[in-house]
Structures are given as C-alpha cells and as structure tokens.
Amino acid sequence: MNWYIIRHAAKEPGDFYNPVLRHQDQPISDKGRAEARNLSAYFAGKSIAAIYVSEYGRTRQTIEHAAQNLNLSPIVDPRLNEIDNGVIEGLTDPQISQQYPDVWEAFMSRDRDFRFPQGESGEEAQQRIQSFFIEHQKRQEDIILVSHDGWIRLLMCYILGLPVYRRWDFRVDTGGIMEIAYQPEFDRWKLIRFNHQLPTIES
C-alpha cells in the first residue's frame, strides 16, 4: 500500500478570501497548471483507488487532470485542510510580533507547540492527520492526498515520530510529491520520497 501526498500547485497572488474557510482560497496560477499537467502524466497507469483533497479549491484544481485520466472523482475531506493559523493570516512578521508576542516568541524558538490565535495548535492539526490515517490505512489501498505545506510538514513529524514543533525543519515545494508505504509487519510507514519534483512538461 503506497500513499502519494502532494502539496497543491502554485497559486495566484491576490485577495481570494473565502468566508466559509475564513482564509484565502487562491486558485492555481499558470505555473500551477503546468505542475498539474506534470502530475497527470506521473500518475498515468498507476493503480490508484481514491483521491482525497482538502476543502481549498486549489487542491482539487491541482489533481483534476490526473483524476480524469484515472476515472476518479476527488473526495473532499476537511481533515486535509491546512493548519488553521487563525487571525494572523495576512499579517506581516512585525505585526504578529507586536500584536501576539507570545505566539511570535514560540514560533521563533521552535522548541514547543503553540496555538495560533483563534486557530489550531500543531497537536490539534496532527490529530486530524492521525484520524485520517487510522480510518484509511485499514483499507490497504493506494491513494492520492492533495493538501498543504504545513499539513504535510506535520505529516512528516507524525510518521517519523517527531514532536510537532520540528515541522519547521522541512520544506515542501508546490507540486512536490511525498510517497510513503505502509509496512504491516512493523505497523509503521516507510518514507519512499519527499518533496519529489517532476520535470516540466511543455503544453
């Protein structure tokens, strides 16, 4: 059983605030559409049982071409949503340090977990990841997940047994592919590749 976890493709700059999500919900850009075409070619011929995306539109846009080729309809699961950074979204670093000094100090120290104001802590977001894993790893199917930078970094901490504040040690590029394989004899996940980048395919 192999799972492919993808960070959404590159997104458009600008204001695309979604009041339901309470966050920006940017669509993918021209660069993002090129990344999406790369993914479509990469997954062609693979035996994928299901595709799961977050509630953000850019995750579905990232995988829609591959989903069509695989004859699958992406399933929206809010457990794949980006960590909720609450009211600090859109603030500059100086604004965060001035308005939320405790959060800023914890962020800069990176030696403990903390909760974003009116948002989530790393542990709370990781509990969503654990819930998804417990439910789906029983099915023994190859699947694709399309999520977000912070979520994927928390996932790395989850499978490697690291504290959530170590998530800052990882970088995930747009369109980057993470592949993991479940080892039932050890009840553990093996990291096959991380932040794998595909060569550009001309349209």
- List, for residues 133-165, the tens digit of each pLDDT value: 999 988 889 999 999 999 999 999 999 999 999
Residue 104 resides in a domain: no
Whether 154 is in a domain gets the answer: yes
Model-level pTM? 0.93
Residue 68 lies in a domain: yes
CATH of the domain at 154: 3.40.50.1240
State whether residue 78 is helix, strand or coil.
helix
Q: Domain range for residue 49?
A: 6-84+120-196
Q: How many degrees, rounded to 5, is the angle at CA 50 between CA 179 and CA 61?
A: 80
Query: Which residue bears the tokens 């790369």?
Result: 38
Give the pLDDT confidence of 72-129 residue by residue, as tens digits. Answer: 999 999 999 999 999 988 889 999 999 999 999 999 999 999 999 999 999 999 999 9
Distances (CA, A) of 42 to 48, 58, 108, 181: 12, 19, 37, 18
Q: Is 34 inside any structural domain?
A: yes
> Which whole-number Å values give the CA distances from 135 to 122, 130, 132, 168, 179, in the listed order?
20, 9, 5, 27, 18
pLDDT tier at 18 (50, 70, 90 boundaries)? confident
55 inside domain: yes
Q: How many domains does the chain have?
A: 1
- CA nearest neighbour of 37 among 62, 56, 13, 12: 62
Query: How distant is the alpha carbon of residue 57 from its chain centre?
Result: 13
Residue 70 lies in a domain: yes
Q: Is residue 44 part of a domain?
A: yes
